[in-house]
């Protein structure tokens, strides 16, 4: 892994992501084409597709033969293969993006022979580029970032509402909200899992949890948080996979056990 890390073109990948973000910034929120996907309130805009196609074209030119596991379009039969695989959410926080709520990002996780190699989450509205290479720390706009060491009783916890699966998760969210609120300082919800997880990496929050989340939502931010000193598992404390949706718990070391004890029986 060290050899591939030393030659991985992270600067070129960052430049491609920054270039792709211009598609988001130039979007016309009032006239964009929107299609409905499976699940309640689950949408894809023409810009999600444009960003994904741009990224796939540029990453293929940069690293010929690379594979993709991406949210929009195309089949993802074999998510992680030999060599490079990009796990992409072209616009994480699509509903925010549709409504002009500037809380969305581009999320790109890069794997090599099924091992997490690099993660990048870029919020173009705030110009915050989170990144990490395996074993080499986490960064926000080039500055090292680290998780906080706060007592859970004052910590901030993001609760993802898994709105596309509300028939299955509605009551879980209600119970989770009660338990988390009774054990942490306060609760939040941004609507972008990648940004919520990255806010823990930069010390601005302490916990994120969501009962059902797709691999493209957490692949990049999960590596960034681990490299910042955090912990990312499913609700049962097991490592996250990338073959389909799972529960996700992301937290600082100081808050992880409290949150995992509350969540392990929820799913």
Give yes or no for a contact between 122 and 18, defined as CB atoms under 8 angstroms apart.
Answer: yes
Binding of residue 210 to ligand LIP (CB under 6 A): yes
* Cα–Cα separations (whole angstroms), residue 259 to 51, 156, 165: 35, 12, 22
Q: Report the nearest approach of ligand LIP to the CB of residue 164 (Å).
A: 5
Binding of residue 193 to ligand LIP (CB under 6 A): yes
Q: Report the nearest approach of ligand LIP to the CB of residue 191 (Å).
A: 6
Give the integer Cα–Cα distance in Å for 244 and 242: 6
Enter the tokens of residue 73: 């379009």
Give the residue among 117, 99, 93 at the shortest CA–CA distance from 198: 93
User: In the block, which residue shows the tokens 């998780």?
Assistant: 147
CB of 63 or CB of 173, closer to ligand LIP: 173
Binding of residue 217 to ligand LIP (CB under 6 A): yes
CB of 183 or CB of 188, closer to ligand LIP: 188
Among 56, 89, 123, 206, which residue interacts with ligand LIP (rule: CB under 6 A)?
89
Stretch that binds ligand LIP, among 23-31, 90-98, 138-146, 227-235 (CB under 6 A): 90-98
Binding of residue 163 to ligand LIP (CB under 6 A): yes
Q: Report the nearest approach of ligand LIP to the CB of residue 93 (Å).
A: 5
Among 164, 184, 242, 256, which residue interacts with ligand LIP (rule: CB under 6 A)?
164
Among 94, 147, 199, 247, which residue interacts with ligand LIP (rule: CB under 6 A)?
94
Give the residue among 29, 25, 177 at the shortest CA–CA distance from 95: 29
Binding of residue 255 to ligand LIP (CB under 6 A): no
Binding of residue 224 to ligand LIP (CB under 6 A): no
CB of 112 or CB of 214, closer to ligand LIP: 214
- DSSP 8-state class, residue 119: E
Give the integer Cα–Cα distance in Å for 256 and 27: 38
- Looking at 113-230, which runs of residues are DSSP E strands? 115-123, 128-133, 138-140, 143-145, 156-159, 186-188, 207-213
The three-state secondary structure class of 72 is: coil
CB of 71 or CB of 123, closer to ligand LIP: 71
Give yes or no for a contact between 155 and 184, defined as CB atoms under 8 angstroms apart.
Answer: yes
Phi-psi region of 33 (alpha: psi -120 to 50; beta: other; left: phi over 0): beta
Binding of residue 86 to ligand LIP (CB under 6 A): no
Site size toward ligand LIP, by CB under 6 A: 16
Binding of residue 161 to ligand LIP (CB under 6 A): yes
Q: Contact positions toward ligand LIP, by CB under 6 A?
A: 71, 89, 92-94, 160-164, 191-193, 210, 214, 217
């Amino acid at each position: 892994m060290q050899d591939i890390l030393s030659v991985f073109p992270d600067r070129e990948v960052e430049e491609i992501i920054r270039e792709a973000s211009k598609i988001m910034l130039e979007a016309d929120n009032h006239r964009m084409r929107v299609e409905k996907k499976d699940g309640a309130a689950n949408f894809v805009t023409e810009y999600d597709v444009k960003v994904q196609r741009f990224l796939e074209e540029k990453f293929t030119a940069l690293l010929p033969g690379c594979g993709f596991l991406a949210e929009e379009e195309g089949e993802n039969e074999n998510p992680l293969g030999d060599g490079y695989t990009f796990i992409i959410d072209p616009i994480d926080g699509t509903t925010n993006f549709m409504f002009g709520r500037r809380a969305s990002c581009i999320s790109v996780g890069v794997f090599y022979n099924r091992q997490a190699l690099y993660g990048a989450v870029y919020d173009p509205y705030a110009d915050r580029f989170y990144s990490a290479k395996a074993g080499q720390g986490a960064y926000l706009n080039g500055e090292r970032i680290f998780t906080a060491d706060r007592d859970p009783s004052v910590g901030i916890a993001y609760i993802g509402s898994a709105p596309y699966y509300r028939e299955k998760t509605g009551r879980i969210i209600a119970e989770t909200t009660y338990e988390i609120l009774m054990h942490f300082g306060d609760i939040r919800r941004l609507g972008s899992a990648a940004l919520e997880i990255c806010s823990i990496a930069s010390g601005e929050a302490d916990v994120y949890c969501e009962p059902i989340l797709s691999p493209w939502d957490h692949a990049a931010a999960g590596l960034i948080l681990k490299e910042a000193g955090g912990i990312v598992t499913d609700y049962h404390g097991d490592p996250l996979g990338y073959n389909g949706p799972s529960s996700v718990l992301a937290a600082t070391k100081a808050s992880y056990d409290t949150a995992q004890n509350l969540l392990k029986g929820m799913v």
